[in-house]
Amino acid sequence: MIDFYYSPTPNGWKVGIMLEECELDYELHRLHLAKGEQFDDAYLAISPNAKMPAIVDHDVDGEPVSVFESGAILIYLAQKTGRFMPTDGRGHKEMLEWMFWQVGNQGPIAGQLSHFVNYAPAGQDYGLRRYKGEYERNLAVLENRLQGREYILGDYSIADMIAFPWAFIAKPLTVSLQDFPNVAAWRGRIKTRPAVIRAIDLCKGEQNLGEHNAENNALLFNQGADHLRGK
C-alpha cells in the first residue's frame, strides 16, 4: 500500500497518473493547502519542502519509504515496478534529460504563469508577459522533440506523464496549442488513456480557482522562511 498525499493540481496529477497506470494500491490523503496542512510536522517529516505531492511506500522491506517531489516519485515508482522507463543506457540518459527539463523548466514556468493568470493582484502585466512567453518557449521545445515521435522518448513513459498535466491546461493558462500541432496531438493521445482520466478526476472540482489569492491567503502566497520555521 502507498500513502499518496495529494492536492488536485497538475503536480498531483503527474503522480496519480503513474499510480493508476501501474495499478498500484494507494490510499489518497487530501491535504488542504489553503488551511496550511502542508506545514504540519507530520507532513514535513515526509515532504520537507511542504509541497504536494508526496508518497509513503509501505510495500518495502524494513521501514516505509517516503518520497517527495514529483520527478523523484515518478522515477522511484518506475524503478519499483520496472515500467514506463527505458532500461538501455541511451534511453535512460534521455529520460533523465527530459525529466530534468520538466522539473527545471516547464513545470516551474507553467506554475508561475498559473499564478499570474489566476491569483496575482491585478496589473501584474510584466509577470504575465514574462511567464507566458517562457511557457510558450517550452511548448516549442516540446513541439520540436515530438517531431516524428508519438511520445517524448518514443514509447509512452514517465517523461510524458510528468510533462502532460501542464500542457493539458494550456487553454486555462491563456495559451493556444494551434501553433504547436505535435504537442496538441500528443496531448490528445494521452488525455484519453483510462488511467489518465481516473487520475485527473481525483477530487475533481476541488481546485483553488481564485477563491484564495495573493491578497487574502498568506499560507499559499507570499511565503518566506518563517512559514517553515513555525513563526
pLDDT in tens, 195-226: 999 999 998 766 655 566 665 566 666 667 77
What residue type is 229 in one-letter code?
Answer: R
What is the pLDDT at residue 230? Answer: 62
Neighbours of 46 (CB within 10 A): 17
User: What is the number of alpha carbons within 13 Å of residue 40 lying toward its C-beta?
Assistant: 13
- The model carries a pTM of 0.89
Q: For residues 202 and 30, what is the distance between their CA atoms, to the nearest angstrom? A: 10
49-99, pLDDT tens digit by residue?
A: 988 899 999 999 999 999 999 999 999 999 999 999 999 999 999 999 999
Residue 150 vs residues 136, 157, 162, 174: alpha-carbon distances, Å: 20, 11, 16, 25
Residue 214 vs residues 45, 131, 176, 221, 229: alpha-carbon distances, Å: 27, 17, 26, 5, 21
160 closest CA partner among 86, 222, 230, 87 = 86
Q: Are strands 2-6 and 54-57 parallel, antiparallel or unpaired?
A: antiparallel
Query: What mean pLDDT is predicted for residues 154-176?
Result: 97
